[in-house]
Amino acid sequence: MPKIIHSMIRVLDLDQSLKFYDQVLGLQRSHQLDFPDFTLVYLRNAENDFEIELTLNKGREEPYTHGTGYGHIAVVVDDVAAEHARLQGLGYEPAPIKEFKRGEELLARFFFIQDPDGYKIEVLERHGHYR
C-alpha cells in the first residue's frame, strides 16, 4: 500500500519560511539537499513522519502563483482558541475561528493561517473525525 511521505511547496525566502513553520507548526529541518540552482529542505516534527518539503529556486524573485488547484494542508491541535492566541502573540494574523455544525452538533472548530508565500494552513481542533 502506498504511503504518503511529503508535500512540496516553493518558497521565495527560505529563512522566513523556516521560521514560520517552526513557530506555527513546530516543524524542524530533518534533511537538506543543496544544489547549484535549488535547495530542498524537509521539515517534520515528533508527531508524525509526514514531511513538508520547502523548495527554494535560487535567483527567483517573482512570487509563485497558486492557481485554482491548491487548497490547503491541515493540522490538528488540542485547543484551537489557545493556538489562535499563541499565533497572534507571535505577530501572525490567523483568520477568525469558525465552526461547522450540523444542527447543534459540532463537526469542526478551526481557523486558517497563511505562510509567508500565501499557502493556506487549516488549524483544526482535535475532535470527531479530526484526530
pLDDT tens digit sequence for 3-56: 889 999 999 999 999 999 999 999 999 999 999 999 999 999 999 889 999 999
- The set of cell numbers assigned to 27 is 516543524
CATH code of the domain occupying 71-131? 3.30.720.110
**Domain boundaries of the chain, sorted by first residue:** 1-61, 71-131
Statement: residue 105 has pLDDT above 90: yes
Fold matches, 1-61 and 71-131: no
Give backbone dihedrals phi and psi of 52, rounded to 5 degrees, phi first: -105, 130
Across the chain, mean pLDDT equals 94
Annotated active-site residue 93? The verdict is no
What's the whole-number mean pLDDT along residues 113-125? 96
For 1-61, the fitting CATH number among 3.40.630.30, 2.60.40.1220, 1.10.10.10, 3.10.180.10 is 3.10.180.10
Statement: residue 2 has pLDDT above 80: no
Rounded-to-integer distance, Cα 126 and Cα 131, Å: 5
Among the options 51, 61, 83, 122, which is catalytic? 122
